[in-house]
A and B are shown apart, each in its own frame.
Chain A
Amino acid sequence: MSRLAARFEELAKTGRKALIPFITAGDPKPEFTVPMMHAMVEAGVDVIELGVPFSDPMADGPVIQRASERALAHKMSLRRTLEIATEFRKTDQKTPVVLMGYLNPIEAMGYENFANAAQLADIDGVLTVDLPPEEGVECGALLKARGVDPIFLLAPNSTDERVKKMDASGSGYIYYVSLKGVTGAGHLNVADVENKVKQIKANTQLPIAIGFGVKDADTAKTVANIGDGVVIGSALISKIEANLDDPDQAKNEIIELLTSIRHALDN
């Protein structure tokens, strides 16, 4: 069983919801990321989504765009993101790590080289924003053969047919994009999310993590209860952005927010 499947099974058994933070690797500087990941685990997160910086993050809002720019200014790359994951894994063999990014860095590395590197770095899942399952057959098969889960997105306008397609192509979990828009956008509509997730659940057994537009503990709790977990990204990265001259302060504020969300989810 994959580390992700095991983690979601364990959560389901204890009736808990997954807390999944997203941070961009190398933001605001490369040496920030590994300690941040360990600190988030201590704060009770269940899975870490590690953003791979890309020059043209088309599905991201301004906050994550700027995180990518800061990381790229430090020459961060897919290769170096894998090094960060390797470093993290040395002292944490339990927490699943999912790479989230865009296809071109993977194309540049080559699908097979990437799949091998991901296996070597003990990565658990790969979510490629601009790689729908139709185009992702080859890459997905290479990842699955190495025990890495290809994770796909579903959106508010996804049809049942798309849900079935993701169910067949993906593993680990499904990332439900709670609103039409980019990361960190506006406000999600709880009733809409509820209806849609019900429809998705009717067509897949995979756990559903819900993200986009989750800003605080209250929203996180509401949303997590609809699915199996909640992803929070822009709200964390905003803390980094607000404290660029004081990364320790950024780390403290991120931990504080994650702790409050963990508490809300468990009570």
Chain B
Amino acid sequence: MTEKYNMPDERGHFGPYGGIFVAETLIPPIQELNAAYQQYLNDPEFIAELDADLKYYVGRPSPLYHAERWSRELGGAQIYLKREDLNHTGSHKINNTVGQALLAKRMGKTRIIAETGAGQHGVATATVAARLGLECVVYMGAVDVARQSLNVYRMKLLGATVIAVESGSKTLKDALNEALRDWVTNVDNTFYIIGTVAGPHPYPAMVRDFQAIIGREAKEQCLEATGRLPDALVACVGGGSNAIGLFHPFINDASVKMYGVEAAGDGVATGRHSAPLCAGRPGVLHGNRTYLMADDDGEIIETHSISAGLDYPGVGPEHAWLKDTGRATYVNITDTEALEGFYALTHMEGIIPALESSHAMAYTMKLAPTMNKDETIIINLSGRGDKDMQTMAKREGIEL
């Protein structure tokens, strides 16, 4: 890998991936957004305001916690958890929504829209919209509305309008389609806060830059705790925002291995999964070229995962590039394995992870024992499991 990783290019390309693939009506707002983003990216006043929000509102820096008992139990590498679950609203999603909301304010937009899968991004968006007094509309697949009803209630409580999307597979991809349709209709006053590192340029780069605080902190904290860089990073990948946030500041550190964990659902071999990097093919969806779950005719196929936040047929274009260049390795974890990860962290460390993050836990259970005790793994604990209590209780046959 090059010493001077400097992706994407000015039109948003990560090698053959990324770019701007949208209907013409969205070109002007995307140009406007890109201009604003480039302007404020290096604006000291903007950065100071963002830093203050991250510190006093989000609660950063999030701790890097040494899971000693779990590490001992697994008998290999020392495991450190980057505690994004401790952020305000319970996941890493707020890092990005705080940043984009500040941009929206500077651009004079009065209305915020978002798509959401598990509801974490929707909650994080509704939260910042409430704080700034902006109108907020969140699109969520009807299937996800049903399985993440706690988060739906939270969004409504925060004053957002939640629209259940009934088209297509009624999950995250359909919520994104519907949000794009809203944006095209209301381009003049509306700012679309995309929650992951997908979408047309500049979203993949912009969301990454807002999430890279995770990796910057983790690097510093790891050096402080262990005196050296970590040997491996592990993060779950749906669209890939928490993973890229952790990975990006380490891309030039060649000794640090990176593992992105996709959702294998019932198993990649069954076809019922959400693992485009492991088992998909390149194509174009939602404004960028990336790996997709699509059939031979290019139609997007339905995905499956126990975790709504990973239930998406695409993935951020930068991950597609990191896969092709071999800089990061992408693996997959089934629903059943993810549940083992969920229970392991809960029982061993007294931390209940989100089902999404549980995929990263489960992969670490395979990886850690293959490594030496003086080696270090950092897992991105991207969110807490509170939102999944109903799903888990239901699986255990308990009525809440």
The answer on a CB contact under 8 Å between B24 and A108 is: no
Say yes or no for B70: interface residue by CB 8 A criterion: no
Q: Interface centre among A58, A60, A69, by most B CB within 10 Å?
A: A58
Say yes or no for A42: interface residue by CB 8 A criterion: no
In this complex, what residue of A is CB-closest to B28?
A: A157
CA distance A131 to B20 in the complex (A): 8
Say yes or no for A141: interface residue by CB 8 A criterion: no
Say yes or no for B118: interface residue by CB 8 A criterion: no
Say yes or no for B297: interface residue by CB 8 A criterion: yes
The answer on a CB contact under 8 Å between B181 and A56 is: no
User: Contacts of A77 on B, CB cut-off 8 Å?
Assistant: 297, 299
Say yes or no for B252: interface residue by CB 8 A criterion: no
- Interface 1/0 per residue, A55-73 and B, CB below 8 Å: 1111111100100010010
Q: B194 CB to closest chain A CB, in angstroms? A: 13
In this complex, what residue of A is CB-closest to B282?
A: A107
Say yes or no for B23: interface residue by CB 8 A criterion: yes
User: Contacts of B173 on A, CB cut-off 8 Å?
Assistant: 56
| Given A56-B285, A56-B300, A105-B299; A180-B21 close (CB under 8 Å) | no
User: Contacts of A156 on B, CB cut-off 8 Å?
Assistant: 25
CA distance A185 to B187 in the complex (A): 15
Q: Interface centre among A69, A79, A132, by most B CB within 10 Å?
A: A132
Within 8 A of A (CB), among B282-313: 282-287, 289, 292, 294-301
- Interface 1/0 per residue, A69-108 and B, CB below 8 Å: 1001000011100000000000000000000001111111
The answer on a CB contact under 8 Å between A107 and B283 is: yes
The answer on a CB contact under 8 Å between A107 and B298 is: yes
Q: Interface centre among A109, A159, A181, A185, by most B CB within 10 Å?
A: A181
| Given A56-B168, A107-B283; A78-B19 close (CB under 8 Å) | no
Say yes or no for B102: interface residue by CB 8 A criterion: no
The answer on a CB contact under 8 Å between B299 and A135 is: no
Q: Is the interface on chain A under 10, 10 to 19, 20 to 34, or 35 or more residues?
A: 35 or more
Within 8 A of A (CB), among B311-359: none
Say yes or no for A193: interface residue by CB 8 A criterion: no
The answer on a CB contact under 8 Å between A158 and B298 is: no
In this complex, what residue of A is CB-closest to B11?
A: A134
From A19-27, A147-155, A223-231, the one touching the partner chain is A147-155
CA distance A91 to B301 in the complex (A): 36
Which of A56, A102, A131, A181 is B185 in contact with, Cβ under 8 Å? A181
User: Contacts of B370 on A, CB cut-off 8 Å?
Assistant: none
The answer on a CB contact under 8 Å between A58 and B177 is: yes
Which of B24, B180, B181, B301 is A177 in contact with, Cβ under 8 Å? B24
| Given A58-B177, A130-B21, A182-B184; A105-B297 close (CB under 8 Å) | yes
Within 8 A of A (CB), among B5-52: 11, 19-25, 27-29
CA distance A135 to B17 in the complex (A): 11
Say yes or no for B167: interface residue by CB 8 A criterion: yes
The answer on a CB contact under 8 Å between B297 and A153 is: no
The answer on a CB contact under 8 Å between B28 and A159 is: yes
| Given A58-B286, A134-B11, A181-B184; A158-B297 close (CB under 8 Å) | no
CA distance A62 to B181 in the complex (A): 10
Which of A65, A72, A108, A177 is B25 in contact with, Cβ under 8 Å? A177
The answer on a CB contact under 8 Å between B184 and A104 is: no
Given contacts A104-B294, A107-B289, 18 further A-B contacts (CB under 8 A): A56-B168, A56-B286, A58-B23, A77-B297, A77-B299, A103-B21, A105-B299, A130-B23, A131-B21, A134-B11, A134-B20, A135-B21, A153-B25, A155-B23, A156-B25, A157-B187, A180-B186, A181-B185
Can you show 23 pairs from A to B with CB atoms below 8 A apart? A54-B298, A58-B23, A58-B286, A59-B25, A61-B181, A77-B299, A78-B297, A79-B297, A104-B298, A104-B300, A105-B299, A107-B298, A130-B23, A135-B21, A155-B23, A155-B25, A155-B28, A157-B28, A157-B187, A159-B28, A177-B24, A180-B25, A182-B184
- Contact residues of B with A, CB < 8 Å? 11, 19-25, 27-29, 167-168, 173-174, 177, 180-181, 184-188, 281-287, 289, 292, 294-301
